[in-house]
Chain A
Amino acid sequence: MRVWKFGNSVNTDLITPGRYNITTDKQALAKIAFIEHRPEFAREVKKGDIIVAGRNFGCGSSRETAVTALSECGLAAIIAPSFARIFYRNAINNGLLLITADEKFLQGIDETHQLEVRGGEIMDLTSGARSPAGVSPMLLALRKYGGILEFLKSHRIDELERIES
């Protein structure tokens, strides 16, 4: 497990820049994640890695490729103090785990740290610090199905109003 640290307001143009964002191939998208902003990311990221970022992660455009690219990289979670709205929705629909956590706690984490997310809590195994993990109930509920599309194969959309995590 490796931590990848990013700053505030990481926007969708940094995640999947417009000029590269013209493919519908998921594997090709995984290879362009942060292609200009942090070129080593796509080469070195491994299944189970975690992004720890600043406020308003995913701001900018509606391009779902930003979620797909990061999801296809095999990230276990993205942890930030806050997420931008459309990115948040896209992650909920796709079952990519987004976790909100205390900004100060996240600022104390660097890329050498080891993290574990368990029982509604994030544990920094390196420093011993802990913080509650905020996860949208809708995200937790849809993750059980593998995302909204899988949910809709066996349910009517109106049943989302009563879905429970």
Chain B
Amino acid sequence: MAGMTLAQKILSAHAGRQLAVGEMAVIPVDYVLAHDTTTAWAIEPFGRIAQKVFDPSKIFVFFDHAFPAPNLQVAEMHGKIERFCKKQGIKIHHDGVCHQLMAERYTYPNTFLLGADSHTPTGGGMGAMCCGFGSTDAAVAMATGKVWVRVPETIKIELEGKLPLEVYPKDVILAIAKKLSSEGANYKVVEFGGSAISDFDVPSRMTLCNMCAEIGAKTGIVPADARTREYLERQGRFKPFEELRSDSDAAFSEVFRFDISKMEPMLACPPDIDNDVPVSQVEGTPITQVFIGSCTNCRIEDLAVAYRIMKGGKVKEGVKLIITPASREIYESALINGMLLEFSKMGATIAPPGCGACLGRHMGVLGDDDVCVSTSNRNFTGRMGSPKAKIYLASPAVAAASALEGRIADPRKYLKGNGRA
């Protein structure tokens, strides 16, 4: 029998028995995450099967998709969730994107997180198994503490080399999406490895894992290591964890190797995530909006990249630059170190922490003629507003350079050196 994959080990540990790939299992979950849309939808199904949640301390509700409430309908939806959570003793967080807050405050290596949101794989950057589910699964997990899963195959992605200047994890995952396609990892786990991965800090790994949702994966995961420890220590919540790894003879369904030293800044062109090109092919395309935000790319490291490029410059007349930090911690760090003041002086609009413009509900909805460079994760038709608007996905570096020029721009023109892996 072949060795076990990391995902198989985590799921087996939860099931309390050795699971084979392809097997159906019912496993206990360590955390249940839901937000202001998916919780609203979990309340009715929950009520059909239970009175009390299995453990309120393991359930985390976030108001992020539309917070502060942009209209009466959302305010009423929030109210309905607040009444449910109060009755059940569940804490509501409303100071950032759910995935970022989970990573900052709760997620731990080798755990299983059931998240009622497709970008739950973000937490895979911490060596946890974090998978996205719908509201019925969230309701069942809130009631029983368990979920049914099919033990997935794993695709191994090995990253080798060093990132060139002004090329970032977002460019890496867009290059991977181009190669694998938007369904290339359907139902499977993407496990990252290779010599370069140890150079990637946890925020960088979170960007990689976050976008695994866009290639169909059940999740992305980076095995926990010294970098993970470093991140947990920075959050003041380190306790020892086992450095679980896939066995050397584990059977991967596919293995891909990427030399990241040859990579370039990339953009995913509308309307598909796998429609990726190097910046040189779309450079000069006029734009009307830049969005630096989302669980994909608005951590403090991302803001620092954008700041370095924009320092001393101004947002181009006619362009709206919207910066939406992913969490209160990030927002406060950028306040304290002065970046938010500087961005504001450059002409940026600073929005409160949350999902913001990413899903087109408020704080930066696109009109028919808008063309947006966004650091988020989806460029689907109508994602951020009008179905006629165009969305290009890119790194914070490309977004910042484009905000300065009012057109898609190559950040390497502003070479000031990389500040992160």
Contact = CB atoms under 8 A, between A and B. Distances in A.
Contacts of B187: 85
Interface stretch (A107-115, A124-132, A152-160): A152-160
B74 to A, nearest CB: 6
Interface in A1-52: 9, 11, 13-14, 17-19, 21-24, 36-37
Contacts of B116: 62
Interface in A65-86: 65, 67, 82, 84-86
A82 B49 contact: no
B360 A94 contact: no
Contact of B381 (A13, A64, A89, A157): A13
A56 B181 CA distance: 11
A134 interface: no
A64 B138 CA distance: 11
B180 interface: no
A9 B146 CA distance: 30
Contacts of A22: 37, 66, 73-74, 77, 361
Listed residue (B117, B132, B136) with the most chain A CB atoms within 10 angstroms of its CB: B136
Contacts of B136: 64, 90, 93-94, 147-149
Contacts of B132: 62, 86
Given A36-B382, A59-B183, A89 B48 contact: no
B41 A18 contact: no
Interface residues of A, number: 41
A62 B38 contact: yes
Given A19-B361, A56-B216, A65 B41 contact: yes
Interface string B110-130: 000001111010000000000
B48 A84 contact: no
A18 B48 contact: no
Contacts, number: 133
A157 B15 CA distance: 13
Contacts of A36: 382, 387
Nearest to B188: A85
Contacts of B146: 157-158
Contacts of A24: 40-41, 43-44, 77, 80
Contacts of B218: 85
Nearest to B217: A85
Contact of A161 (B24, B73, B117, B380): B24
Contacts of A160: 24, 26, 148
A18 B360 contact: yes
B269 to A, nearest CB: 14
Contacts of A85: 186-187, 216-218
B61 interface: no
B279 interface: no
Interface string B219-238: 00000000000000000000
B182 A19 contact: no
B134 A93 contact: yes
A152 B41 contact: no
B26 A157 contact: yes
A36 B143 CA distance: 36
Interface in A87-117: 89-90, 93-94
A97 B263 CA distance: 43
Contact of B378 (A60, A89, A152): A60
Given A62-B38, A138-B24, A157-B148, A37 B183 contact: no
A153 B120 CA distance: 28
Given A90-B136, A148-B136, A160-B148, 12 more contacts: A14-B380, A24-B44, A56-B182, A60-B378, A85-B186, A85-B216, A89-B133, A89-B134, A93-B137, A157-B148, A158-B146, A161-B26
26 contacts: A11-B380, A13-B380, A18-B360, A21-B37, A22-B66, A22-B361, A24-B43, A24-B44, A24-B77, A36-B382, A37-B387, A56-B183, A59-B183, A61-B118, A62-B133, A64-B41, A85-B187, A85-B217, A86-B134, A89-B134, A149-B48, A152-B140, A152-B144, A153-B49, A157-B144, A161-B148
Interface of B: 24-26, 37-38, 40-41, 43-45, 48-49, 66, 73-74, 77, 80, 115-118, 120, 132-137, 139-140, 143-144, 146, 148, 182-183, 186-187, 216-218, 272, 359-361, 365, 378, 380-383, 385, 387
